[in-house]
A and B are shown apart, each in its own frame.
Chain A
Amino acid sequence: MSATPEELKSRIEAGISGAQAEVTGDGHHFQAIVRAPGFAGLTRIAQHKMVYDVFGTEVGDRIHALSIKTTATENS
């Protein structure tokens, strides 16, 4: 039932077009570094919301805490 960094990584990469994610965590608290072309031009709030939206209500529940750092990448 406990989430893994690998699961979070693959779901972020599947959920956000062109995203590359590095995820670390202990099963409850996670840190995600996410790079995606779709972040370009968005506020930090909007970028982080895109990542939270991948997990919906699981954040705060099954995924107790998800710390996020986002970077916009060049659209190639």
Chain B
Amino acid sequence: MSEPTSNPMQEAIHTAIAENPVILFMKGTPDAPACGFSARTVSVLQSLDRPFAAVDILPDPRIREELSALSGWPTIPQLFVDGELIGGCDIVMEMYQSGELHSALGLDAGTGESPADPDADSAPPLSIENRL
């Protein structure tokens, strides 16, 4: 709130979380995950056919530092939906198996509304490096 100096990395992460309804901070990329936990989380999201933004935290150690400071969560991956931390691999798996992940992602049947056509809305994965 009253940070004396502006921190571009922190701001970039903040903006990325605010602008992307579903965003995954991971090691590697969805096509080439660099860690088993990130790989499992990606495959769950992909199986739900829900487009998501992905940020590779590996190119710059500050991404992880600032992300964990912001979220209070020490490990990677971290999934955010509508600006809120959902969890890491364990929680995403548990929620997937219980069906809660579908609701969290707005995929539950019965809302009567499909806000976005997945094909029309498949934004390319975000690379945070491009924002700095």
Residues of A within 8 A of B (CB): 44-45, 48-49, 52, 57, 59-60, 65-69
Contacts and interface: CB of A to CB of B under 8 A. Distances in A.
B74 A60 contact: yes
Given A48-B87, A49-B72, 6 more contacts: A44-B91, A44-B94, A65-B37, A65-B75, A67-B89, A69-B90
Contacts of A45: 73, 85-87, 91
Contact of A59 (B74, B90, B91, B95): B74
Interface of B: 37, 68, 72-76, 85-91, 94-95
Nearest to A52: B74
20 contacts: A44-B87, A44-B91, A44-B94, A44-B95, A45-B73, A48-B87, A48-B88, A48-B91, A49-B72, A52-B74, A52-B75, A57-B74, A59-B74, A59-B75, A60-B75, A60-B76, A65-B37, A65-B75, A66-B75, A68-B90
A60 B82 CA distance: 26
Contacts of B94: 44, 69
A67 B77 CA distance: 12
A21 B97 CA distance: 23
Contacts of B91: 44-45, 48
A50 to B, nearest CB: 11
B90 A67 contact: yes
A57 B91 CA distance: 20
Contacts of B76: 60
Nearest to A47: B91
A56 B94 CA distance: 24
Contacts of A67: 89-90
Nearest to B37: A65
B40 to A, nearest CB: 11
